[in-house]
Structure 1
Amino acid sequence: MEKARPAPGHPSTYGQACMQCYKAKCRCVPRSRGDSCERCHRLRKECLPSDSTRRRNADRAEESGTRIAQLEGKIEMLLSAVQSIVSSSGSSAEALRLLNEERIPSSTAGPNDTPANSISTNPSISGVPTPATDPSPLAQAHTDPCSPSQYSPSPSEPSPRQAEECLSFFRSRMLPYFPFINLTPDIAAWQLRHTRPFLFQAILVVTTFSTQKRLAQIEELKRILFTSALLEVQSSIDLLLGLLTYLAWSNDAFLGRADLISRLMILAISLVYDLRLFKPLPPDTILMMAITQGQDHESDQNPNDETFQGFMEKQRAVLACFVLSSNISSHLGRIDALRWTPQMEEALRIIEMNKSCLTDEAFAFQVRLQLLKQRAAHIREQQIDGARTATASVTTSVPGLLYLKTLREQLHELKSSFPPDLLQRGAFITHAHYVDLYINQLAYSISWDSPPLNLLGPRSDGGHLPGFERLKCLWWSVESIKSWLDSFYKISPSDLVGLPFHFWSQMIMCVTILKYLSVLEDPAWNRQEVRNTVDLIATMDCMIQKLDRVCIESNFQCDDSIFNLLSKLLSKCRVWAGARLNTSQIQDAEAGPYRSADPCETSHNSSIPDLDQMIWMQSMDLEDDQWFEDAMNLPAPFL
């Protein structure tokens, strides 16, 4: 029997308020027409009686009870099967093994979809600390391993054993090189699938090394992401962590899908803002939301209800979003990096002080390195804006050079502070050398209006010769590339498997700049000395051998991994470089030791582009032979 509503103009009694007023904790006064209450009519909201909603909740509870009964029936069947095995074979170990395998209903998966059949994982490689005192948000799940996740499982989802191997491989071989998640060893695959279903799906994707198989999984990941974030307009830390995981180890930048990476990065930034992870809402906005939406949104994010581990999880996600957006901005263009704020500086300070998670120390160094690079990029943006307004000149670029010199000193200080026992120290040192190269190249491009390397005559203002400054920056670039390569050679092939995408972009950039410096035609530049310091052909040969060893030692059951594709790129570049270097060496021999110092004789090859202005990187497709043909036929300054 339906409950009688109170008389119009009188507030509803306890338990009879509509759902809108009940949620907002407001007085519910029915209208005279009886179709809604005064507040819902004023706010133009649907007035739903609380009893109908409670009935729906009861229906849902009934459905959940049915689902639980079904699961209990399955468990009983499994226990009966185990008991029969024990009684027939007497092997308790075998029964336990079967029970563990059957705890989650398995589904079919391709034999090469996961590291289970393609990579021999090493469980001794951890790099992940023991759990902290507070339980990790990733481990806060029900004890029932058969609990359904938020998203429907994919038909190609791996079996429980394969899922565990994927998670173990990601945790021990990939995450340490970008440790923005505290994924402790006690978190099982079924737990992660329950608490962080989208992150779980992203891990399955990035641990698939066949390009074609990964592309099929990416489509399913995109479907889940777009449905949740765009159609259903959801914002959750799970979506953000999964999206950052995919972006960090994505191969799309090398497969002609740079536009997809840029769009997904913008979506990740929007999730950071929507979740208000580093920029709380101002009081007037909170008040307006309470008035217009009928509830106090500040109460939904009560900091007293959040655990320390949950708080740290969000801080790492914000900093990871900054690092990835900065890398994507400089390597692919099209987007601006997430701006550094005082709140992010405070988050980084908290990460550095956290001693309960050992990987936070390495992650903090990684963020500091990227912050120096981003500050250098900010100087370049100011120079471009000044050039557009016709205010930039050699004199106005001097402060920029001084600032870059300060950044270089801060970089060297940061490198010297790396703990000698820091896990993945070699990869982070390699990153530091690339930041040094980036700063040097920016210093070269700041004095853009001076002659290429003109060392003739003093400057009118009596200062340092701009050409000499550029000459120093170019040679520092040679030394930075050599240091990067030396660190790269020390990284074992098994460790190269887990490196994120921006490491491989750095490799391509280093080889490209080395090519420019090896064939730079300028009377003041000794390109033979560059070749004696770092031989371009020998460098590419060594890189090709290293990439091929990765495929062999990791026992990949495919020939279309990112390492195969990068090896293909370097092999084709080596053919071009061999012909180009032979031509320049003949020219050097004909010119002899006395080369002309006339800047007018400098060819177009003296122009070296900025690291973040190589447009061809945005169209790179290592699976497309036509792209290789077009790229190799481009003029030298663009190849």
Structure 2
Amino acid sequence: MSPAEASSRVRKACLPCIRAKAKCATSEQRPSECHRCIRLNKQCVFEVAAKKPGPGPKSRSRVRQLEQRVESLIDLIATKNTTSTTPDSSTAPVQVVTPDSSAPTDGAPPDSPPIPAPRYWVESPKFKTFDPVEAGLLDEQHAYRLVEEFKTSFVESFPFVIIEGDGSILQQQQPFLFHAILAVTSYATPRIQYRLSEELRRQLARIIEHSQKGLEILQGLLVYGAWYHAFFHPSNQQLAIIVQLCVALVQDLGLSRRTKPKPGKWAVTDCSMNERPKGSLAEKRAYLGTFFLNVLFAQAWRKRTTLPFTRWMAQCCDAFNGSSIPTDALIRPLIQTSELLSRVNTHFSYDDIEHTDVKGEMMLEISTSSFLGDLAHIKDSASSSPFLNQNTALTLLFTLLDMGINEVCLYSSLWGTSPQQITLPPSLARLKMLHRTMEAGTSYLNTLLRAPESQLYHLSLGTWAGWFYAVIVICRLVFLQENERMGRTALDDIPEEIDNILPRNLDGVVPPANDPGFDICPEDCGWVALTVAREFNIRHLFDQFVEKLSCTLPADCAPWRKARDERDSLYAIASIQHTMLNGFIKRIERQTPTVATSEGTAQYLAGEGVTSYGPFQPTWQTSQPIEVDANGRPGGILSLPFSSFMNFDSINFEGITLPASAFPPQGGEEIYSDLMWDMVMDDFTMPSL
């Protein structure tokens, strides 16, 4: 019996017979009327019986439900068979599946079109993962070697995704993670890496479309986000989206909370345990890796973390005590340092430094001393292991945290310094913090310089985001007094920093030395740019780093001129370091004529091994002439690649729009000229990643 028949039963007696309380018998010649109504010539009407309130018989109701499900499955199988006969599944129309699509309709002829039924679900083409080996981008042996390289080298920088099997098992059981690992490790072949990254982005789009969820997808996203600097391009930056996708997957998979054991689900072997561990070690690594990546992103982008630290994270770290995998020993100090870094950013309100509640020399000293004590405790607990002491990523993270704790020394407003007191020497406590911050920044760069060239490709995004942060802090420290007089001390978010980079004088000419906005701080102010730069040998340090990255960007090659499919993983970093070095030299050169007769300047120039600062003209700049007008000023409109070389691995997540200016976008986005150096470095306020 169909559901329609079951719900529309007719009474056995007509209404006139019911009223007369007479016997009602239907006529054989006229089934729709009874004998009594025909004899009395009355209108015979049979009333539809009303359904009795309350549930029906359970057995009959259960049978009807099973019948409906069987009919739905039959329609679904028929729909799939119809869809598979189409020539292209990607262009096939979307099939609508309904439970009653194949059931006949009462009262309708067989050839009539079926009555539209309500939609219950929509079936889309089946999801199929991309295999780089089957696509012909890599052969099996090469792909398996890259997987082994990830297991032995890359995992030391990001120990939150562990591959226990070999490459063939990973390819069969976890194809998406296999694809992500190959995209990260194929740095030696930029064209293949570019193809793999583009296919990986398409896979991510299809995963979102099909609502795919699982530990494998979370691990693949973590690998892709942890080495995102290898795929950086300003037009399609997606790091913030990747980080938030990881956080969403952690919530959907239930990795962020511990579920209580259900009664009756205990095994005999679990009776001696105090509590059942929730999830596998791979799930705990993925959960902690999401927190680690989230904190580093928030620190670099001046945001608040969207995944706070919980007690369950600390218990997850305890699960790796005594692990047979060596890199599991890195998880606890990495998570502890990340948690402390998150607390520092929240305590000092680095995302909104103007409205921070921590002000005054006493409050700043107490806060920094407390945080430095926590950092020392983490270092002491990790110093007992030679493996941890020799890990470059962990050492750099400690140094990054040291810089973050002492960053408060950059903001004169927090120290109660009025505009009239800017020319006075800093207090002793602040001066100590300035030196400590500079030592931490230079130590960060020196640690990277000591690393082998091959190891640079294995370092994760957190390390290179810290490198960019260290270079910015160093340049802020060198030109601290000048920035304070001009009110340029805060590290703003990306749109504000891009606005600061845009030149105020449209002709791009460096202001004269007697401009009051660029007066050099007197020698007795306690923090002179030339003296600080010479004391810490900043120019030589930047030169060494440029030489270190000459393998990816030779000295005679213009930055940002290579095609996208020819850039290796460190190309963007090398181009940015060229930008930093040239901007630093330009700013020092601008200050030199004003104090050319001072003893500090002479010593600085002598220490650099030159007699004067001449115009900095690398070989890749001399071939790009700049048109000038009758007054000798540069003329014409140049397209400034601000979004290309200044926003290292930044993301157009909240809508980054350049302010309206005289620099409309043109075809040559990546023009790289000496005029651009002058205009950009007039105000050394770099974007906060």
Does the alignment reach a TM-score above 0.5?
A: yes
Structure-2 residue corresponding to 1:402: 366
Contact between 2:441 and 2:470, CA under 8 Å: does it hold in 1?
yes
Contact 2:576 2:648 survives alignment (8 Å): no
| TM-score, normalised relative to structure 1 | 0.63
Whether 2:585 is the aligned partner of 1:578: answer yes
- Is 2:433 aligned against 1:433? no
Please tell me whether residue 633 in structure 1 is matched to residue 679 in structure 2. yes
User: Which letter maps to 1:482?
Assistant: T
> Which runs of no fewer than 5 residues in structure 1 stay unpaired?
10-26, 38-45, 64-148, 284-295, 459-464, 595-613
Write the deviation string for residues 143-202 of structure 1: whole angstroms up to 9, x where unpaired: xxxxxx962435244221121111012112211111112323xx2212012222211110
Q: Report what 2:487 is aligned to.
A: none
- Match of residue 193 from structure 2: 214
C-alpha separation in 2, matches of 1:314 and 1:362: 16
Q: Which amino acid aligns with 2:244?
A: I
| Cα shift at 1:504 | 1.6
Task: Give the secondary-structure state (helix, strand or coil) at the position aligned to 1:251.
Answer: helix
Q: Kindly indicate whether the alpha-carbon contact (under 8 Å) linking 1:519 and 1:584 is maintained by their aligned counterparts in 2.
A: no
1:49 aligns with 2:70: yes
CA distance in 2, matches of 1:378, 1:258: 29
1:474 equivalent in structure 2:
434
Task: Please say which of residues 353-362 and 199-208 is displaced more in the overlay.
Answer: 353-362
Unaligned runs of 5+ in 2: 8-56, 85-126, 482-520, 555-562, 602-644, 653-667
**Displacement, 1:468?**
3.9
CA shift in 2, pair 1:182/1:309, >3 Å:
farther
| TM-score, with length taken from structure 2 | 0.59
Letter of the structure 2 residue corresponding to residue 572 of structure 1: T
Q: Deviations over 1:514-571 (max 9, x none)?
A: 222223335231334422332222111111221225789xxxx985213233223222
2:545 to 540, 543, 546: 543
Distance 2:359 2:173 in 1: 56
Using the alignment, how far apart are the partners of 1:243 and 1:328 within structure 2? Answer: 14
> What is the aligned counterpart of 1:279 among 257, 270, 274?
257
Q: What's the offset of the Cα at 1:282?
A: 9.1
Pick the aligned partner of 1:587 from 594, 611, 618.
594
* Identical pairs, percent: 18
1:338 partner letter: L
SS in 2 for 1:49: helix
* SS in structure 2 of the partner of residue 562 of structure 1: coil
Q: Alignment partner of 1:633: what SS?
A: helix
Give the direction of change, closer, same or farther, for the CA distance of 1:326–1:582 in structure 2 (3 Å limit): same
DSSP-derived class of the 2:186 partner: coil
The secondary structure found in structure 2 opposite 1:448 is helix
Name the CA distance, whole Å, in 2 between partners of 1:562 and 1:151. Answer: 25
Deviation at 1:323, TM superposition (A): 0.9
Residue 283 (structure 2) aligns with: 314
Match of 2:297 among 314, 321, 328: 328
State the partner residue of 1:367: 335
1:173 aligns with 2:194: no
SS at the partner of 1:637? coil
State the aligned residue count: 468
1:260 maps to 2:232: no
CA contact (8 A) 2:177 2:220 kept: yes
Residues 256 and 618 of structure 1 are in contact (CA less than 8 Å); yes or no, is this contact kept in structure 2?
Answer: yes
Is it true that 1:196 corresponds to 2:196 in the alignment? no
Q: Which amino acid aligns with 1:256?
A: P
CA 1:371–1:157 in structure 2 vs 1: closer, same or farther (change >3 Å)? Answer: same
| Residues 1:28 and 1:348: Cα distance change in structure 2 (over 3 Å) | farther
Structure 1, 267-276 or 309-318: larger mean CA deviation: 309-318
Q: Name the larger-Rg structure.
A: 2
Deviations 1:51-85 (A, max 9, x none): 9589979x99xx9xxxxxxxxxxxxxxxxxxxxxx
Measured after TM superposition, the shift of residue 8 of structure 1 is: 8.6
How many Å separate the matches in 2 of 1:273 and 1:414?
29
Task: Write the distance in 2 (CA, Å) between the matches of 1:420 and 1:169.
Answer: 24
| Amino acid paired to 1:435 | L
Q: 1:188 to 1:617 in 2, by over 3 A?
A: closer
Query: Where is the helix percentage greater, Structure 1 or Structure 2?
Result: 1
**Which one-letter code corresponds to 2:444 in the other structure?**
W
After superposition, the C-alpha distances for 1:369-405 in whole angstroms (9 at most, x for unaligned) are 22221111111228948x54xx84735x844542332
Partner amino acid, structure 2, of 1:262: A
Matching residue's letter, 2:327: T
Distance 1:312 1:249 in 2: 22
C-alpha change, 1:456 and 1:587, in structure 2 (3 Å) is closer
Residues in 2 aligned to 1:383 and 1:488: alpha-carbon distance in whole angstroms: 27
Deviation at 1:512, TM superposition (A): 2.2
With over 3 angstroms needed to count, the CA separation of the structure-2 counterparts of 1:263 and 1:420, relative to structure 1, is: same
**Alignment CA distance shift 1:250-1:257 (3 Å):** farther
Provide, for residues 234-259 of structure 1, a one-character-per-residue CA deviation record: whole Å limited to 9, x for no partner.
Answer: 22000000000000011267421574
Within 5 Å, give how 1:412-561 maps onto structure 2: 412-416=376-380, 417-419=382-384, 421-422=386-387, 424-442=390-408, 444-445=410-411, 448=414, 450-451=416-417, 467-521=427-481, 522=521, 523-549=525-551, 560-561=567-568
Q: Quote how far apart the aligned CAs of 1:509 are.
A: 2.0
Distance of 1:222 and 1:519 partners within structure 2: 41
